[in-house]
Structure 1
Amino acid sequence: MSLRGFSTINFWADDVSAAAAWYQEFLGFEAYFQRPGPDGNLAYAEFRIGDYQNELGIIDSRFRPPAAAEPGGAVMHWHVDDLEATVDRLISMGATEYQPITAHGEAGFITASVIDPFGNVLGVMNNPHYLDVLASFKQK
């Protein structure tokens, strides 16, 4: 058994409706799936993103595991075509810098991350490997 590929990343928000609206504005499209909680308020919203339709789920903070109360740990990076413009847009929308734009060696890997207005770490990067893999799938 092995890891097969990224499926879903979950972010937490005290106000899922506000978080879903924020990500809708950033992404340019609505969540494809929404589910209310026991109180009738939105408890989960999910977006399908990118070339492989990876999932970004936003979950009501009431359901957050206890150890997940602060940003930290692993950072999952989304490939973007224009890293600087993406980071600038995120910050203009109220995100705060978590890790600045950083080049990693000479291979073209460049990363950055922000904390969204709901306390989640959102990583973005230029990743030549991602583009190579995508091109290889399109050639088949």
Structure 2
Amino acid sequence: MIKGLRSAIYPLRVPDLQAAKAWYSQVLGQEPYFDQPFYVGFNLGGFELGLWPEGEPGTAGCRVYWGVEGIEAEVARIVQLGAQLHGKIEDVGEGIRMADLRDPYGNLLGLIENPLFDAHAVR
């Protein structure tokens, strides 16, 4: 079952992800909990704000991922209900797996299985 909103990923075009990470760390008053060259994630009161440096602002918009356990089973369940897998389930490192589906109306539905993310953490 879907467990709640987990990630809002903002596509950025920045020449220096380290500078962007430092700026968001200052704005948010905390360091990221996930810090890789391809993605930086901050835990904000049980929700994630993510920085994705390869995005194109203004074209893709914000991508939202809903937390699940057992992503294969959840993808299969939602596909059975009429969605189509958009791409594949991707392992993005450290046990985190993501999938994009298209609902029957053409909208993207993002799922994320993230064993590192603590929805109960308060910072």
Structure possessing the higher relative contact order (Cα contacts under 8 Å, 6 or more residues apart): 2
Q: Give the structure-2-normalised TM-score.
A: 0.47
Q: Give the structure-1-normalised TM-score.
A: 0.42
Higher radius of gyration, 1 or 2:
1
